[in-house]
Amino acid sequence: MVRAARKLDDSIGKQVVIAGHSQGGQAALFAGSLARKWTPELSVRGTLAFAPVSHLGEQGALLRALATPGSLSGLAAMIVRGVDIANPQLNVQSLLSDKAKALYPQLDEKCLGDLQKPDSFGGVAPAELFRPDANTDAVTAELGRDDDPEQLTIPGPVLIEQGLADTTVFPNFTNDLNTELKGRGVKVTYRTYAGVDHGGAVVNTKVANDAFAWVKKRF
């Protein structure tokens, strides 16, 4: 984005911070790990991830334990669709339950808000996405193969902010992410916030103020 903007206006500075929320936080961590090689002309001053997705393989294995319909089903279905597109040889659609198979075309037609509604995947429990007899080991392995940021080495400082009331990106996985990145030598500052849910990770005043203060120190 910055590279493209600088082509239009070369007065835009070269010092940047990469930031993102949820899957965007996951993407920010990957971008931070790639930036020196991908955009060597820019100076990345830090990477900021709000409630980043991690441990997708482990989370995929937990789907069958989630027996209550809700908003998480729409997100899980979108991720399953992503696996299907990335690796059609897995024949993901053959593993779906009758409920999920009937709704599956909606994943190419609707955005997340509509997919979370009761007349869509919001009316299906995560445990009901796949047939009870379906072997989903290959799908779970695909989720964890290349998309888990805990495998990364990220140069420069990293800030991760996580709400402890988050039921979309579970705090225990982000706790593990913090430990694993530090074990790889990444300079992580990790902050958690009681009572903050997934959306609150980007709108809560305390979270935002801490993030702005951290970014300001990078420049």
For 27-90, give the DSSP string: HHHHHHHHHHHH-TTSEEEEEEEES----HHHHHHTGGG--S-SHHHHHHHHHHHHHHHH-GGG
Please report the domains of the chain, with CATH numbers, ordered by start residue.
Answer: 2-55+148-218 (3.40.50.1820), 56-145 (no CATH)
Q: Give CA–CA dist 87/140, Å, rounded.
A: 12
What token pair was written down for 82?
A: 């992503």
Other Cβ atoms less than 10 A from the Cβ of 215: the count is 15
Q: State the pLDDT at residue 56.
A: 83
CA distance between the termini of the chain: 19
Q: State the pLDDT at residue 102.
A: 96
Average of pLDDT values for 25-51?
Answer: 96
Question: Which H or E run contains 192?
Answer: strand 187-193
Average of pLDDT values for 153-167?
Answer: 96
Residues in the chain: 219
| Residue 68 vs residue 219, higher pLDDT | 219
Q: State the pLDDT at residue 215.
A: 97
Average of pLDDT values for 200-213?
Answer: 95
pLDDT bin (cut points 50, 70, 90) of residue 65 is confident
Specify the pairing of strand 15-21 against strand 43-50.
parallel
pTM of the predicted model, to two decimals?
A: 0.86
Average of pLDDT values for 86-96?
Answer: 93
Q: At 73, give phi and psi (nearest 5°).
A: -65, -40
| Closest to 32 in 3D by CA, of 169, 194, 208, 188 | 188
Confidence check: pLDDT of 142 > 90: no
